Amino acid sequence: MLIERIWVGNPGRNFNYLVACEATGNALAVDPFDAGQVLAAATRRGWRITQIVNTHEHGDHTAGNAGVVAATGASVLAHPRAVARIGSVDREVGQGDRIAVGSSVHLEVLATPGHTPAHICLPNGDALFTGDTLFNAGVGNCRKGGDAASLYETFATVIAALPDSLRIYPGHEYLRRNLTFAVDREPGNARAHRILERIENIEGASAPVLTLGDEREINVFLRVDSPEVAAGVAAASGCTRASAQEVFLALRQLKDRCRRDARASKFSRAAKRGRGQHAGRVTHCRFVHIGDGNRAERRLHHSDALAARLGSVASVVGRRVQYGPTHR
């Protein structure tokens, strides 16, 4: 099996892939976002794209379908529950199905709901195409029709059964930002710290290909049984002990909050610059409350006085800001 990883270079940091049979030159396009780049890569390698597979229905994984089909006549494959959103699907594939590429390549279809109910992942030999289920050092969010409890079950059952040797080919390149979150949750993880230092000046096109074994060492969502990770979540929740599922769901919730905070901080900095003031920067989220999800503590770089100006829902405690129930 031959694999071409295509760094799209868009704001969403997408990867597109071509999977080819060396004997025949037939190729499968995985999640084409940019048809032009996918077609150019196939031409450069001398491959014929005969099929397209979408790991799920989101537009940043299907936008290139029409362009590739128009140029090659390729058939489109997707999960049955994704067909209505994608449109023009030629073959529905689900758990246990196989996708043949040429004469020598066979990809297995795994149903991996969570990011969306229709998500699939595709293992073959030593490779695993994970779409938006598993990223390097992270997992997919569930904001657009997904379900975090289903995502946990996918990892606890489907992904847990796969071998360490599989090389991970995710739909996006988020390694640095995900590792930054991971080492904040598990400061004692020396391997995660070393990789974060190693990739400091590496951009998307040069991002390393990690294995599932690597992920089990550095990906905090795959380390819910780590005493350090579990203890932090249990302490934040006020529980004496949190289950693996509770830890996973709390981490997913906290990651979503960190993302929102980063966006809000960016907006706040821009607004303050317009008034000639320094707005500060959120460095990371500290704790999340399990259950109603209405409380979190965040450590901030900006001054207490500025923190107090961020809104009436913020109460300043030292150099921390504690947000009340109205902060979502």
pLDDT digits (tens, 9 = 90+) for 120-153: 999 998 999 999 999 999 999 999 889 999 999 9
The question of whether 60 is a catalytic residue gets the answer: yes
- pLDDT category of residue 207 using cuts at 50, 70 and 90: very high
155 & 270 share domain: no
CA distances from 144 to 10, 64, 97, 148, 255 (A): 20, 20, 26, 11, 15
**Which of 61, 79, 119, 302 is an active site residue?**
61
Q: In this predicted model, what pLDDT tens digit does every residue of 251-272 receive, in sequence order?
A: 999 998 886 665 555 545 555 5
The question of whether 184 is a catalytic residue gets the answer: no
- pLDDT category of residue 186 using cuts at 50, 70 and 90: very high
Paired tokens of 252: 């997913």
The question of whether 327 is a catalytic residue gets the answer: no
**Which of 31, 60, 214, 261 is an active site residue?**
60
The question of whether 147 is a catalytic residue gets the answer: no
138 & 274 share domain: no
The question of whether 115 is a catalytic residue gets the answer: yes
For range 203-231, the mean pLDDT: 95
The question of whether 119 is a catalytic residue gets the answer: no
pLDDT value of position 275? 54
Domain termination residue (choose one: 155, 170, 185): 170
**Which of 31, 132, 214, 261 is an active site residue?**
132
9 & 149 share domain: yes
**Which of 31, 34, 79, 115 is an active site residue?**
115
Residue at 219 is within a domain = no
Q: Which of 61-75, 86-100, 109-123, 303-317 has the lowest mean pLDDT?
A: 303-317
Domain termination residue (choose one: 109, 143, 170): 170
| Structural domain of 60 | 2-170
8 & 98 share domain: yes
Distance from C-alpha of 267 to C-alpha of 42, rounded to nearest angstrom: 40
Widest Cα–Cα separation across the chain:
67
pTM for the predicted model, two decimal places: 0.81
pLDDT value of position 320? 29
pLDDT of residue 281 exceeding 50: no
**Which of 172, 214, 302, 327 is an active site residue?**
172
164 & 261 share domain: no
Distance from C-alpha of 271 to C-alpha of 248, rounded to nearest angstrom: 35
Residue at 105 is within a domain = yes
**Which of 34, 56, 119, 327 is an active site residue?**
56
247 & 165 share domain: no
pLDDT value of position 161? 97
Residue at 201 is within a domain = no
The question of whether 79 is a catalytic residue gets the answer: no
pLDDT value of position 317? 25
In contact, 23 and 102? CB cutoff 8 Å: yes
Give the number of domains in the chain: 2
